[in-house]
Amino acid sequence: MRGIKASDIAALCQGRLVGPDLELKGLSGLKEAQPGFLSFLSDPKYAPSLPGTQASCIIVPQGTAAAGKTLIECRDPYLGFAKAAQLFYRESNPRPKPGINPAAAVSPGARIDPSATIGPYAVIEAGAEIGPNTVVMGPSFIGASVKIGSDCLIYPNASVREECLLGNGVIIHCGAVVGSDGFGYAREGAKYIKIPQTGNVILEDEVEIGANSTIDRGALGPTRIKRGTKLDNLCHIAHNVVIGEDGAIAALSGIAGSTIIGDRLIMGGKVGVIGHLEIGDDVICLAYSGVTKSTPSKTMLYGNPARPHMKGKRIDAAVDMLPEKLKVISDLEKRVAQLEEKLGIKHGEE
């Protein structure tokens, strides 16, 4: 991989270069970095590592000083690092050559753009459409009548089932399943009768689905994840859920059927959301929350059952005090009993 100049990184990050321009060969943490590498400082708790780092260039908050180092001052160093990382990644991981691998199983009825790449043992069924510059690594499965836009990346062992729609720039990681059947059954006596899931899944532009996550198809209409939303690994999105734009959902979270969520959701790990709720824009669900009620916009939820954050913390604080308060109540009951005995009052009498 060729080196990348610090000045080019500074321009990409909209930062200010302080010190000599250098050619950098990779990224590393402050403690692990060797000469010739780029690092970053975004969390003040890592500032003590700054004087001793061997990194040749560091992305730092504005106004940071480090003698003998080339610095890139950024308003948001973490965002600057993310942009720099993309630049290094593109240099070290060029896109594979376009074309269909001879070991792939591609239906004659599929339409593959000439600039797309289909890897070995990938399966592309009839009516599927693969857009420009999209990469489908093998062995992945693309079902009948699936439509995938441009510049998408489908990693090995991912499955996109029939009639699902993917926009541009979508990334699906290993083992993810898009368009599995929703969990829909009717009871007949002691038996369950399966309800065919005839909808699909729509992933809009720049959606990313983590490894081994599952997105169920709608029972009738679509399950939809809107532009720019990111799912971590091991998430589950049930049938007919709608998630708004620019959301972020951490690992092991699950959203039950027909829940509608607004834009810019932030959801911590192991959050559970029951079905048929309406959740507004800019909602934050802290880790381990159990969401059981519809929630207005700009709310931070905490706990199980989830409550507004400060109320939940106050309840937790009160619960933590219960052993001490129960002891106080027990002592008071003993003193009252002693006083009643001294006064000759039978317990319960006035």
In this predicted structure, what is the pLDDT of residue 94?
79
Q: What is the pLDDT of residue 344?
A: 81
Catalytic position from the list 239, 276, 309, 347: 239
The pLDDT tens digits of the residues spanning 289-298 come to: 999 999 999 9
Instruction: Report, as an integer, the average pLDDT of 190-207.
Output: 97
pLDDT for 1 equals 56
The mean pLDDT value for 121-146 works out to 98
* CA pair distance 175, 215, nearest whole angstrom: 12
What pLDDT does residue 23 have?
Answer: 94
Do residues 233 and 211 touch, judged by C-beta distance below 8 A? yes
pLDDT digits (tens, 9 = 90+) for 3-30: 899 999 999 999 999 999 999 999 999 9
How much is the average pLDDT of 306-311?
91
pTM attached to this predicted model: 0.89
What does each C-alpha distance from 242 to 215, 329, 337 come to in angstroms? Answer: 11, 49, 60
What does the pLDDT look like over 30-56, one tens digit per residue? 999 999 999 999 988 888 989 999 999
Provide the mean pLDDT of the chain: 94
Tokens of 224: 């939809």
Architecture of domain 4-92: 3-Layer(aba) Sandwich (3.40)
Per-residue pLDDT, 95: 81
pLDDT of residue 136: 98
Q: Looking at residue 274, what is its pLDDT?
A: 98
Percentage of the chain surpassing pLDDT 90?
A: 83
Task: Using alpha carbons, list the distances in angstroms from residue 221 to 140, 153, 160, 170, 239.
Answer: 25, 25, 17, 21, 9
Bridge pairing between strands 223-225 and 185-188: unpaired
Q: What is the DSSP string of 172-222?
A: E-TT-EEEEPP--EEEETTEEEEPP----EEE-TT-EE-TT-EEEPPSSS-
Nearest C-alpha neighbor of 34 from the set 52, 17, 16, 46: 52
User: What one-character DSSP code corresponds to residue 117?
Assistant: E
pLDDT score recorded for residue 348:
57
Give the residue-averaged pLDDT of 97-104. Answer: 97
Question: How far apart, in whole angstroms, are the C-alpha atoms of residue 300 and residue 320?
Answer: 22
Alpha helices in the chain (DSSP H): 6-13, 77-92, 309-343
CA distances from 201 to 30, 61, 68, 78, 147 (A): 42, 41, 53, 33, 11
Q: List pLDDT tens digits, range 139-173.
A: 999 999 999 999 999 999 999 999 999 999 999 99
Kindly indicate the confidence band of residue 252, based on its pLDDT and cuts at 50, 70 and 90.
Answer: very high
Q: Judge contact between 166 and 149, C-beta under 8 A.
A: yes
Question: How high is the pLDDT of residue 92?
Answer: 74
Model confidence at 315, in pLDDT bands (50, 70, 90)?
Answer: confident
Residue 239 annotated among the catalytic residues of the structure: yes
Homologous superfamily (CATH) of 99-308 is Hexapeptide repeat proteins (2.160.10.10)
The region of weakest confidence among 87-91, 147-151, 243-247 is: 87-91
The 3-state secondary structure of 22-69 reads: CEECEECCCCCCCCCEEEECCCHHHHHHCCCCCCCEEEEECCCCCCCC
pLDDT recorded at residue 93:
79
Is residue 130 within 8 A of residue 137, CB to CB? The reply is no
Which pair of structure tokens corresponds to residue 113? 């753009």
Beta bridge partners of 17: 72
> In the predicted model, what is the mean pLDDT of residues 102-116?
98
